[in-house]
Each structure stands twice: as C-alpha cells, then as structure tokens.
Amino acid sequence: MIEKRVALVTGASRGIGRAIALRLAEDGCFVIINYRGAKEKAEEVKAEIENRGGEVMLYPCDVADFEACGAMFQDVIQTIGRIDVLVNNAGIVKDGLLMAMKEEDFSKVVDVNLKGTFHCIRHAARQMIRQRSGRIVNMASVVGIQGNAGQANYAASKAGIIGLTKAAARELAGRGITVNAVAPGFIETDMTAALSEKVRAGAIEHIPLGSFGQPEDVAEAVAFLASEKAGYITGQVLSVDGGMAM
C-alpha cells in the first residue's frame, strides 16, 4: 500500500489538469494521471513528475463511460489501496449559438463535463467513505456562474457541477469528506490560445485584474482545497477569474 496521499486527476495530460497534477505531486501526493486520448502528453507529464522525484501512474479512461470509471477506481484501489484526493478536471467544449446547436453537441458536453464528474464522485466516494476521509475538487467555470453567449451546453454543464458539488458536500460531510469546486475564468491554455486577438482584447475588458490567468493559478486553489488546511471548507465555489464574477 502506498504511504503517501493518493490523488487522481482527470484530464491531466495538458493545460489546467497538467498544472494540478504537478502541484499535487509537489505537495507529496502519489498522482494518478487520467487521460482519454492524449497518451503522449500524459507520458510527458508523468516524466516531468518523476524527474522532480515524485511518484505517478497513468490511467486511460473516458470519464463519460460510467462502467469504465468504475473499473478505473476499482483497479486503483486494488493496486494502490486508497484514494485521498479526486480532482474532476476532464472537460470539453463544443461551442455554438443556441438556435444552431446540435443536440448531440449539447449532450456530449454534458456527458463528459457533468456526468463524468458524477461518475467519478460516485465511484471514488465509496472508498473515501470506508476511509472516513477524502477531498473532492470539481472544476466548474465562470461561465457556469454567469453564462456566456455561444456556450449554452458548456454553461449548463458547469452550472450543473456547482449544484452537484453542493449536494455531494451535504451527503458526504458526515463521513469526513469535503467537496468543493474551483471556477476558473480565462486561463492561458491551448483552448484560449486559439482565440483571436480581437476576442482576447474583448475578454480582458471584462477582467478587473486585466489579464488572463495561468494554469498554475488554478492549481494553487485546487491544492489548497485538497489539503488538510481546508478541512473545514465544503460545498464552496472558489472563483479564480481575475474578478470577472464578483
């Protein structure tokens, strides 16, 4: 059995997930990097953690698949013996105006972002209940708080994550498990790198701090909520958005 705290981060092969995996490894966690298709990127994160002296393993799994998630957590428990931290970061976007949005695009985003979060909580909580301890951190978004034109599916999925976070926090608090959410704003990732300069400039006008954030800004918030220092915090949404949603 691993003596370190064990943290599983979904969608950890790039961007915010990568930064979270690195930060939790820095805090001494044994990190499980979940990914769906980006194996090469996931292996790069694994190598970076190992080069820094950390311990890590990879686990491919589509979080939108309930049974596959169950198998992933079962394998982790059988192999490692415990799970202390779950970070539900995996997510996708399929943007489009509401009146032109395809039903399958709405469903796919909800399946990955919202149902994927439910799937992982559902399977991880069983072990955390046995341990009578655990930290669950879900990735919401400023879009889930205030909406955004052209992102009805994404906004709905992220708003749903906020509601799921609060409900799960109430259900699991008596077993020593905290459940919180982090709501990033515009963060420098592959996703925002594709934005035109005009769109970037328009976005920055709505950010009081006047710039996009870095993945490490989000990772720091997650690391705090996953730590023992946040033991009396549950059911909360911590915005990391430069002031957008205040």
Place of tokens 């999925």: 157
Give me 100's structure tokens. 């032109």
Q: How far apart are CA 122 and CA 133, in angstroms?
A: 15
Q: For residue 164, give the 3-state DSSP assignment.
A: helix
Among 32, 39, 51, residue whose Cα is nearest residue 13: 39
Catalytic residue among 35, 59, 154, 232: 154
Annotated binding-site positions: 11-14, 89, 154-158, 187
- In the annotation, is 154 catalytic? yes
- What CA–CA distance (Å, rounded) separates 128 from 42? 26
Contact between 124 and 112 (Cβ < 8 Å): no
d(CA 136, CA 219): 14
Angle at which helices 152-172 and 116-131 cross, to 10° = 10
245 burial type by CB count under 10 A (0-12 exposed, 13-18 middle, 19+ buried): middle
Annotated binding site for NADP(+): 11-14, 89, 154-158, 187
The residue type of 44 is E
| H or E stretch covering 73 | helix 66-80
Q: Mind telling me the catalytic residues?
A: 154
